[in-house]
Structure 1
């Protein structure tokens, strides 16, 4: 893997009685944010070869809306382990997909923001925050390990 795109789900509605957290949907603003994230990726030439996504409704919708900006987007692969994952668990998942040229992972905080910190700074406790629909584009040289990445771009709506 040479490029890793980390996308946090866009703004979601608050949890309501009777609905579990994984069923939370995007707000109308969140839908706009997800489209904007996809437009930003497409305009900057960052096209994923493979997309891994948490099974939560808000992440699946974020991925679908963002990828709608690409003419021939890859299929989204659900990955149950992304939901509520630690940076170490996310790193283990990424290890299984090192054959992808550009991999996009759509997930949740705090896992996503801590993964960025772990890969760029070598420590997962040095995270700076990742807003809804925030994107981090990382360049990787060599094996996937703490401190191995360079942050090429960070975008938020």
Structure 2
């Protein structure tokens, strides 16, 4: 069995129209939601073996705050360029290339890829994983190379709005 935790980045700022999408930082709401969800992750989940993160500013800021709140070691973090605005196919391909020593992996990325990946792996019909939303999926696989649509079931889903 493998465990996958999908995290959508926290709310980002659109205040500076001159910034490239890749460089947009978190806004005030995002800076408030990330520590809240980091605390939930720290108390609800075991430490992952690996954290894969899109290298965009908003995803890297989100995971840095979450890791600090959850007391996770920075050595777990690996930035993957392919995860920037990745679709489901790219996310699944990235996971299928992992070494099987990793049992629990976090993926921190963007929509619509996060929502689509969640739905495709579990058969759920979640319309939209909101910013800083977290979904944990138990995968019925022994090797990452076996990951396919409908190979898992949703075991945890939470969003910042549930705590306001």
Q: SS state of the match for residue 138, structure 2?
A: strand
Which whole-Å CA distance do the structure 1 matches of 2:72 and 2:159 have between them? Answer: 24
Which whole-Å CA distance do the structure 2 matches of 1:96 and 1:74 have between them? Answer: 22
Q: SS state of the match for residue 91, structure 1?
A: helix
Give 1:55 shift: 0.9
Give the structure 1 partner of residue 149 of structure 2.
146
Q: Which of 114, 117, 120 is equivalent to 2:116?
A: 114
- Structure 1: gaps of 5 or more residues: none
Give the structure 1 partner of residue 13 of structure 2.
13
Give the structure 2 partner of residue 26 of structure 1.
26
Q: SS state of the match for residue 93, structure 2?
A: helix
Give 1:16 shift: 2.3
More helix by share: 2
Cα root mean square deviation, aligned:
1.6
> Number of paired residues?
154
- Structure 2: gaps of 5 or more residues: none
Which whole-Å CA distance do the structure 2 matches of 1:61 and 1:71 have between them? Answer: 15
TM-score where L is the length of structure 1: 0.91
Conservation of the 8 A alpha-carbon contact between 1:50 and 1:74:
no
Q: Which digits, 9 at most, give the CA deviation of each residue in 1:45-90, with x for residues without a partner?
A: 3321100100100000000000112334243211010112110111
Give the structure 2 partner of residue 81 of structure 1.
82
